[in-house]
Amino acid sequence: MEAGVLAEAAAMPWRRRASEGSLTKEGRIWTLWSVALVVTFGLPAALLVWVEPLAFPVSAIFVGHAIAVLHLQARRGARGVKPIGDAVTGPERTALGLLGDLVGDDARELLSRTGLAL
């Protein structure tokens, strides 16, 4: 097993390890995807209103569809975040304390407030 890798992560060799660079790249890709989606539906909507102003309701449906797709994708990603939960007794409390030692002050405060470790 590679040094510094959790046993749970080592059990999933098919998953890439995330780094700050890979997360930045993923963020840029999702931003580009979002812009492309809004442009794909927004430009035809604007063109339709320019050609025939009475077609505004149909244009609003185009733009609404783009926004709905973005919200669905964001919700799908947010469902992947799971709180650690309350560690009331024994080993869970000790493990949570050790995790708190590994993260910075901001992350520790977030962990105590929400149960999420980022």
pLDDT digits (tens, 9 = 90+) for 52-89: 999 999 999 989 998 999 899 888 877 777 666 665 56
Residues 71 and 86 in one domain: no
Structural domain of residue 96, as residue ranges? 82-118
Residues 102 and 50 in one domain: no
pTM value is 0.56
Domain contains 21: yes
Average pLDDT over the chain, rounded to whole?
80
Domain contains 11: no
Residues 46 and 98 in one domain: no
Residues 59 and 111 in one domain: no
Gap between the Cα atoms of 103 and 68, Å rounded: 35
Q: How many domains does the chain have?
A: 2
What is the DSSP track for 66-108? HHHHHHHHHHHHHTT--------SHHHHHHHHHHHHHS-HHHH
Residue 98 has pLDDT above 70, yes or no: yes
Domain contains 56: yes
pLDDT digits (tens, 9 = 90+) for 27-36: 899 899 989 9
Domain contains 23: yes
Residues 118 and 104 in one domain: yes
